[in-house]
Amino acid sequence: MEAIKQLARERMKGKCRVCPVCDGRVCSGEVPGMGGGGSGSSFRANVEALAKVKLAMRCLHDAAMPDTSAEVLGLKLAMPVMAAPIAGVAFNLGGPEQNPIDEARYAEIVMAGCKQAGVIGCGGDGVPPVIIGSTVAAIRNAEGWGIPFVKPWEGDDLWAKLEEAVASGCPVVGIDVDAAGLVTLRLMGRPVAPTSPARLAEIAKFLHERGVKFMIKGVITVADAKIAAEAGVDAIVVSNHGGRVLDGTPGGADVLPAIAEAVGDKIEVLVDGGIRSGTDVLKCLALGAKAVLIGRPVSVAAIGGEAEGVAKYFGMIKGQLTSAMALTGCATVADISKEILA
């Protein structure tokens, strides 16, 4: 992994320093790039929220070889982990003069590496159209093993993008509703907007009629979680968009327990933001998440090690999760609960 990180550092120069600790302190305000928006406080809040969570170590049990496998949204995964949707290689992950991996290749790498590791990758959307096109092509090439995320576009653009996403053969389509404030997209002539409860229900119906499940990313309040559940959404991702869209939000781990308590019996609750290890995965599951999404570290693995690097990264996470489960007395993912929190 160190060799992968070093190559990624060279290829992402000017966009990501691949810090020893990816906590947003060095890259505050570097958007485009891999930093957090504004002061970077929302990015840092994700990492700090998880750091506050402590685990109760237990070694007097017989859970010697924990089973990390899980079923999420009907998908059988080697562990309850996904790659978060990250796109815009040219302006977020290093320019073509130093990074030989373009948008299409990046999407291919993430989907292939995730499939090899037994997890699933999510792909992004944006401007120009090559972004969603690359996501759809990569998922199609992975025989439908991937989840495309579409931006909350205004007008008919949304429905066209959703149709394009479904055509990939994917089992689930997502919308990152927290992209509603990305004014850069509006300035590029492709406006996004908040999603009303009525429109959310309309989207859920649209996707269910086409045989795919629907998840949204960007929920950090119980109120929004309840709206999603009532609208027919199958899953939500508790997320502040990696701290990139609104300064001053809480970290995912801070708001996750209340959201899981409120709607966890109705829809599947996932979480992202600041997850850097298998131990962090365990903490999120103990706080009520069904699964987690990991973003920036997957991008580093993809740029520095391509598909093999992504698979190696997830192999490392699985090893750490297995060890953490053994040290908290959890034989299976179903055994993980708030009881393992100190």
pLDDT in tens, 322-338: 999 999 999 999 999 99
pLDDT band at 183; cut points 50, 70, 90: low
CB distance 145 to 111 below 8 Å: yes
**Residue ranges of the alpha helices (H) in the chain?**
2-11, 41-52, 89-92, 103-117, 130-141, 157-166, 183-187, 197-209, 222-231, 252-263, 278-286, 296-326
Give pLDDT, residue 95: 77
Give pLDDT, residue 32: 87
Q: CB-based burial of residue 262 (10 Å sphere; 0-12 exposed, 13-18 middle, 19+ buried)?
A: middle
Would residue 25 count as lying in a domain?
no
How far apart CA 94 and CA 12 sit, in angstroms, is 4
pLDDT band at 194; cut points 50, 70, 90: very high
Q: What is the CATH number of the domain that holds 180?
A: 3.20.20.70
CB distance 279 to 324 below 8 Å: yes
Give pLDDT, residue 181: 79
Report whether pLDDT(90) > 90: no
Report whether pLDDT(117) > 80: yes
The CA-atom distances, in angstroms, between 240 and each of 40, 117, 121, 185 are 12, 26, 19, 18
How far apart CA 239 and CA 148 sit, in angstroms, is 17
Would residue 23 count as lying in a domain?
no
The rounded percent of the chain whose pLDDT value lies above 70 is 98
- Tokens coding 199: 């429109």
Mean pLDDT in residue range 70-85: 98
Would residue 339 count as lying in a domain?
no
Cα-trace Rg, the chain? 19
Give pLDDT, residue 222: 98
pTM: 0.96
Q: Max alpha carbon distance in the chain (Å)?
A: 60
Mean pLDDT in residue range 217-226: 98
Would residue 295 count as lying in a domain?
yes
Domains of the chain: total = 1
- Per-position DSSP letters for 237-304, written without gaps between them: EE--GGGTS-TTPPPHHHHHHHHHHHHTTTSEEEEESS--SHHHHHHHHHTT-SEEEE-HHHHHHHHH
Would residue 340 count as lying in a domain?
no
pLDDT band at 187; cut points 50, 70, 90: low
How far apart CA 330 and CA 336 sit, in angstroms, is 6
The rounded percent of the chain whose pLDDT value lies above 90 is 91
Mean pLDDT in residue range 22-48: 95
Would residue 21 count as lying in a domain?
no
Give residue-wise pLDDT tens across range 252-293: 999 999 999 999 999 999 999 999 999 999 999 999 999 999
Q: Parallel, antiparallel, or unpaired for β 81-83 and 120-123?
A: parallel
pLDDT averaged over every residue in the chain: 95
Give pLDDT, residue 202: 98
Give pLDDT, residue 132: 96
Would residue 322 count as lying in a domain?
yes
pLDDT band at 91; cut points 50, 70, 90: confident
How far apart CA 109 and CA 104 sit, in angstroms, is 9
Report whether pLDDT(186) > 70: no
Mean pLDDT in residue range 90-109: 91
The CA-atom distances, in angstroms, between 317 and each of 127, 275, 312 are 32, 10, 9
Range of the domain at 110: 2-14+38-332
Q: What's at 203, amino acid-wise? A: I
Mean pLDDT in residue range 148-156: 93
Q: What's at 8, amino acid-wise? A: A
How far apart CA 268 and CA 127 sit, in angstroms, is 30
Would residue 19 count as lying in a domain?
no
How far apart CA 186 and CA 179 sit, in angstroms, is 11
Mean pLDDT in residue range 189-217: 95
